[in-house]
Chains A and B, each alone.
Chain A
Amino acid sequence: MARYVAQRLAEAVPVLLLASVLVFSILHLVPGDPIDAMIGAASFGVGDRTAQEQLVAQLREQLGLNDPLPLQYLRWLWNATHLDLGESFIRHQPVMKLIGDRLPSTVELAGAALVLSVSLGVVLGLLAAVKRNSPIDRLVMLFSLGGVSIPSFFFAILLILLFSVTLGLVPATGSGSLDRLILPALVLGYEGTGLIARLTRASLLDVLGREYVRTAHAKGLAPRSVLLGHAMRNALIPVVTIVGLQLGRLLAGSVIVETIFARQGIGQLAIDSIIAKDYPVVQGVILLTATTYVIANLLVDVSYGFINPRIRAA
């Protein structure tokens, strides 16, 4: 088992390193000089040309932009591992602080959406599998198809129209209280709920046809305990993977959901910074998201090894 974990870790490291190279190069791939982006954003109305050139030269030296790129990358990576992601061009605050201020809101949203989609998804999938080919089954499958077909930004608007504009039950925008969390969590969690329901159903139907389930029935166990104690335990193994993948989707999906509901989170920070060309912040947010995603996948792989001993051998 230790060897399996070590192997998975060793595979994750190069992926993270390459991802960091990609994130680092954002600043150097955008057309023009990073300094231009910085000055363009920072100093409107500085008219004196020589003063501006002096400022550029000074900044260039100060930021180490005259050094060779690999050296700049190593310095950036070193700082990043020490939780220093530089300073925002526009807000003149450390990127880490900007992210730190907004992280709780996104974690709250993603957490609520994850809990919702796992609990609701597994229950719906279970219902659909047990009542296979019944109207309930078809309803669940239709619901799940909606999850992958209705764009989140439209679903959000429909919910706002219904619950905020027409019924006036919950506020449409903002963050910080429970009633402002419900709609965004529903929107963010819907796609995952559908996927998990579909997967749970398929996986459970597969397991229910196995011989050990028939054996359990044959020895006279109550159908309920066969279902929950024998079938479900195995049927949930593939669901664990999807939950891990969901983490990444949720972080990416929060970009859209936070924009619609005007929640001050990481996703909204990313969009604002892209539009304002505030590259250090963009780099920081993307690095954070990619790292979270890789770590989540790693944890899933490792937990997979614990849940299913056959994986370890492979």
Chain B
Amino acid sequence: MAIAIDPFKQSLKDSLLAPGTQGHPLGTDQFGRDVLLRLIDGGRASLSIGFAAVAIAMVSGGLVGLVAGMRGGWVDRALMRLVDVELAFPGILLALIIVTILGPGLEKVAIAVGVGGMPRFARIVRGSVLSTKHELFIEAARSVGASERRVAFAHVMPQVLGPVITIATFGLATAIFSIAALSFLGLGAQPPAAEWGLMLSDARRYLRIAWWLAVFPGITVTSVVLAANLLGDAVRDALDPRLFSKAD
């Protein structure tokens, strides 16, 4: 039933209704739009862009790490220096650089956040590759004539998957957080889109009269980030209990 109602539908006579009002369980915003519907619609943006960002980070970082680890030598050194440079731009700053270059917008945020998450994957994959590439079964694969590419993708890659999945889960938490943060700063989703960070940002002007506009989107982002973090903990424990700590 709720889905049938439009999250963008404005109704000025219903603006800033308090939560619990008939038909609007979480109240309405300054344009009379239903907060609950906008939260649900915002989930679509956060989750799809979040997954896209993690996919970008995982594929690009995974490839860099795999190549660096398998090749070694100067290729390894050059790639890892690049990763170091990325790490020289803390957290959201790298995303800011990329958004500066590409301009604001949700799709661009996916790229920005994805590139920002890349170094983590590169480092972990490289580390795992280095520790598996001298294993006996790799030597066996080589000795029966497997090509370098086959060794990399069919034999080394599966060994690396565990840590990659763990990082991806934590990465989803970071990505959703960053997307909301960039939208909050006015660089991500643009009005009238329903996006959690943007809703929080708009809510600031109505803090004194409409607390619900800030509190519900905030609780939503927090719960989703918390859920992804807890999932990450669980995945890590399930896949490899002694692998690495979150402080890494």
Contact = CB atoms under 8 A, between A and B. Distances in A.
Interface in B169-186: 173, 177, 180-181, 184-186
Contact of B81 (A14, A145, A151, A202): A14
Contacts of B127: none
Nearest to A292: B90
A274 B177 contact: no
B160 interface: no
A122 interface: no
A153 B96 contact: no
The contact size tier of chain B is: 35 or more
Contacts of B222: 149-151, 154
Contact of A154 (B81, B93, B218, B229): B218
B207 A151 contact: no
Contacts of B187: 271, 274-275
B100 A15 contact: no
Contacts of A198: 247
Contacts, number: 128
Which of A26, A154, A256, A290 gathers the greatest number of chain B CB atoms within 10 Å? A154
A150 B84 CA distance: 28
B5 interface: no
Interface in A256-314: 256, 259-260, 270-271, 274-275, 279, 282, 286, 289-290, 293-294
A288 to B, nearest CB: 11
A251 B90 contact: yes
A30 B96 contact: no
A154 B101 contact: no
A115 to B, nearest CB: 19
Contacts of A150: 222, 225
B214 interface: yes
Interface string B173-205: 100010011001111000000000100110110
B88 interface: yes
B167 interface: no
Interface in B201-242: 201, 203-204, 207-208, 211, 214-215, 217-219, 221-222, 225-226, 229
A199 interface: yes
A18 interface: yes
Contacts of B204: 157, 260
B245 interface: yes
A274 B226 contact: no
Given A30-B100, A151-B180, A151-B222, A16 B93 contact: no
Nearest to B184: A153
Nearest to B100: A274
Contacts of B203: 157
Contact of B85 (A15, A158, A195, A286): A15
Contacts of B82: 18
A146 B242 CA distance: 24
Nearest to B219: A154
Given A15-B85, A151-B222, A255-B185, A157 B100 contact: no
Interface in B91-142: 91-93, 96-97, 99-101, 103
A19 to B, nearest CB: 5
Nearest to B89: A290
A293 B93 CA distance: 11
Contacts of B186: 271, 275
Nearest to A250: B90
B208 to A, nearest CB: 6
B97 A286 contact: yes
Given A289-B93, A293-B88, A151 B185 contact: no
A22 interface: yes
Interface string A50-64: 000000000000000
B134 to A, nearest CB: 21
A165 B208 contact: yes
Nearest to B187: A274
A184 interface: no
Contacts of A9: none
B215 to A, nearest CB: 8
25 contacts: A15-B81, A16-B88, A19-B85, A30-B100, A149-B173, A149-B225, A149-B226, A150-B225, A151-B177, A151-B218, A153-B184, A157-B203, A157-B214, A161-B214, A161-B215, A172-B207, A195-B247, A252-B91, A255-B96, A256-B185, A259-B185, A271-B185, A279-B100, A286-B89, A293-B88
Q: Which 4 A-B pairs have the closest CB atoms?
A: A248-B90, A154-B218, A149-B226, A252-B91
Interface of B: 81-82, 84-85, 88-93, 96-97, 99-101, 103, 173, 177, 180-181, 184-187, 197, 200-201, 203-204, 207-208, 211, 214-215, 217-219, 221-222, 225-226, 229, 245, 247
